[in-house]
Structure 1
């Protein structure tokens, strides 16, 4: 009979738990606002909405870098998900800039 493997239990520092959760909720709210403004700006061809969405995209990318590099415990899944998210943010930013340029002309 093989012995059962035991996983490691990491305690999460209380002073960092509140910060990580607060930043996660801020990122979720920013993401909802960013997607709403981006969709609205694209459908109505408004440069202002797309511009605000672009600024929020930069803020969301900074938060994504936080969760990629400075989070208390960074798992392999965090690295993969945040790397994909940063690539997606980059592509969205490029497309938003192209759309804003097209709407201005």
Structure 2
């Protein structure tokens, strides 16, 4: 048992590491970590959900294209929206993750800006595309919930980062 009032002589004592007990280097004050674990978790699982969403969405479009009397122009436009979605969603998640990990507000703000056209696409897919199947409603509802939670976290984390840099 070690007595807290006496100097340590164990294997990790300052003299065992090559220094002297009275000649210790002053430690830097520790900085509080500002990143949000909850935000990062929703970004991570949101990315996995996006993979599942994209595969299921393409399969639903293939089904609709083969089984339903789709006007050619509408089908092409809605199918292109799926490709446009992935071109926006991947950078959005990357920016959100990078901003959270580096504790910088700018990437998270850009991520939030990229979320706006994606929300418009989800709303279009839920209510305004040529044929809206029940699976479309379910997939897009889950995506809207994921994005809503991510947007809530992004606002909270951005405010946290800005306040921390403003008052230091």
Q: TM-score, normalised by structure 2?
A: 0.56
Tell me how large the CA RMSD over aligned residues is: 1.0
Secondary structure of the 1:92 match is helix
Following superposition, the deviation at residue 87 of structure 1 comes to 1.3
Structure 1 residue 96 corresponds to structure 2 residue 154: yes
* 1:38-67 Cα shifts (integer Å, max 9, x gaps): 111111111110001011112211110011
After superposing on structure 2, the runs of 4+ consecutive aligned residues of structure 1 that deviate more than 3 Å are none
- Among residues 94, 106, 110, which one is paired with 1:36 in the alignment? 94
Residue matched to 2:128: 70
* 1:46-104 Cα shifts (integer Å, max 9, x gaps): 11100010111122111100111111111101101111111111111110000000100
State the distance in 2 between where 1:10 and 1:43 align.
45
Structure 1 residue 10 corresponds to structure 2 residue 10: no
Q: Which runs of 5+ in 2 are unaligned?
A: 1-66, 164-168
* Structure whose residues are more often helix by fraction: 1
State the distance in 2 between where 1:72 and 1:56 align.
25
Residue matched to 2:8: none
- Among residues 113, 117, 128, which one is paired with 1:59 in the alignment? 117
State the distance in 2 between where 1:48 and 1:95 align.
15
Secondary structure of the 1:71 match is coil
